[in-house]
Amino acid sequence: MPDAAFETIPAWPFAEARRVRERLLASGKKEALFETGYGPSGLPHIGTFGEVARTSWVRRAFSLLTGMPSRLIAFSDDMDGLRKVPDNVPNGDVLRQHIGKRLTEVPDPFGTHPSFGAHNNARLRAFLDAFGFEYEFASSTDYYTSGRFDAALLRMAALHEEVREVILPTLGAERRATYSPFLPIHPETRVVMQVPMEEVRADGTLVWTDDEGKRWETPVTGGHCKAQWKADWALRWYALGVDYEMSGKDLIDSVKLSSAICRVLGAEPPVTLTYEMFNDEHGQKISKSKGNGLTIEQWLDYGPPESLAQFMFPSPGSAKRLHKGVIPRAVDDWLGNAEKLRANPDDATNPAWYIHAQGAPPAPPPVSFATLLNLAGIANTDDPARLWAYLRKYYPEATPESEPLLDRLVRHACAYWRDFIAPERRFRDPTPDEVEGLRRLAALLREREVELLAMPPGPEREKALQDTVYDAGRFGPFLTKNKDGSDGVGRAWFQALYEVLLGKSEGPRFGGTVAVMGIEEAVRLVEGALARA
């Protein structure tokens, strides 16, 4: 049953769910249909993950808000014709012989499936299954050839001119003269034909002439033709009764036109959400040809899938910069939100509430991901076993077997450090003031070592070590005043620690890193920097 508490939740999935609820109340439907689309001419990517994850979050919110059943269809446009040979497939010469044919009639260049479309559909399903998404797979080819779209196609044929009138104002003069929403499949070559219709009969027969001058009569039903893109989207919404679909900012005009065509056919288009696209670290639009983005495989090398979901969750209507630098923050944001969810499992404003919809979040690891990256730098290693050796100094009972989440993070941290941090590290010598600060830090750590080690591992010791780091920097150029008038420490002190000791400009609280690496090792690190100076 619906819960009144969900009515006031401000999180965007519930805001979207309320829009879907209003649609169903107006239509009288008793079940909501959510849809995501996939073009199987390429492999699934980060955008595919984001669209299915976000739609799944709205769907869950809808179910809790209304108590009504719902379904999610992952629809593959595998009736599309092959436009070009992708760069990342083998046997490209084989594919070139089949340009223009629908993807489910193009041979699989990998040799593992009956067609290229079937291969990419299998990749999509494996991809979605790996993340545990709940969905129904739908093939455009299956829907067209089985007759599931026949009634809608016949209606579009009956309203052919009205549909054309929606599209024609958006086309150039030459294209306007030949445009039809229908693309017949050539009976002999099997190419998806983009040719003018000489006649669209009331019984759903298309009359057209091919490039050789041969005249054909093709029924719109039974998979003998498909609809052009914007008309195809509208046809699907109309035939299936889709209630919700989101799409990228680049499809805003397509949404408007498909919605208009859906209304011409006699149905109200679904509730839609436009999400912003991804940019690179310089704010430039990500392009596969430029290679200026991250693939999903790369993200999962350096961070767990939950961190990718965390990155996707906030403000889908705002542009996001997608690059290597966002991964550590996303990992620690997820870990922090998971810890909050364990304390407050009913907080539906917490992204982890959506990410862990199927169960309780894992217990948080004893150290942050940022600290693991620091330790990899201190150990100068991408070997998980060496990083574990550091961790066991502070957490002697911890093992990869007893802390599987921590072990995953250790492996991600080693890969991230190896590929992104190590090549960019630039150590510098300390200034005279920084030399004095480092000497003070080493002396204070030795002086307080017995007292610090008497504290149990955990927050108390980490705070005391952080206080020691502060105390070492409370002098000369690093000294600042807090709001209460007490002596504080400027950011320059911590920046110096990172640039001199770790070869980078920032990181997590340094006291936490010292706690895990050990006081003796920290003193050795400081003395090594002083010796270099």
- Over the stretch 401-457, which tens digit does the pLDDT of each residue have? 999 999 999 999 999 999 999 998 899 999 999 999 999 999 999 999 999 999 988
pLDDT exceeds 70 at position 364: yes
- Over the stretch 288-324, which tens digit does the pLDDT of each residue have? 545 556 788 899 999 999 999 999 999 999 988 899 9
Provide the percentage of residues in the chain whose pLDDT is more than 70.
98
Q: Residue 289: its pLDDT value, please?
A: 46
The amino acid that residue 26 corresponds to is A
Q: Are 244 and 35 in contact (CB under 8 A)?
A: yes
Distance of CA 501 to the CA centre of its chain: 34
| Number of neighbouring beta carbons within 10 Å of residue 170 | 14
Q: Are 437 and 397 in contact (CB under 8 A)?
A: no
Q: Residue 293: its pLDDT value, please?
A: 66
- Over the stretch 518-530, which tens digit does the pLDDT of each residue have? 899 899 999 999 9
Beta-carbon contacts of 468 under 8 Å, excluding residues fewer than 6 positions away, are 441, 444, 445, 448, 452, 511
Least confident of 38-42, 261-265, 273-277, 324-328: 38-42
- Over the stretch 147-172, which tens digit does the pLDDT of each residue have? 999 999 999 999 999 999 999 999 99
Helix (H, G, I), strand (E, B) or coil at 399: coil
DSSP string for residues in 129-188: HHTT---EEEEHHHHHHTTTTHHHHHHHHHTHHHHHHHHGGGS-HHHHHH--SEEEBPTT
Choose among 5, 36, 34: nearest CA to 20. Answer: 34
pLDDT exceeds 50 at position 392: yes
Beta bridge partners of 63: none
Residue 476 sits at φ, ψ, to 5 deg, of 45, -125
Distance of CA 428 to the CA centre of its chain: 37
Q: Which residue has the higher pLDDT, 386 or 289?
A: 386
pLDDT exceeds 90 at position 357: no
For residue 358, name the pLDDT band (cuts at 50, 70, 90).
low
Global pTM?
Answer: 0.88
Least confident of 22-36, 39-53, 57-71: 39-53
Mean pLDDT of 248-260: 96
User: Residues in the chain, how many?
Assistant: 533
Mean pLDDT of 133-144: 97
Classify residue 286 by its DSSP letter: P
pLDDT exceeds 80 at position 533: no
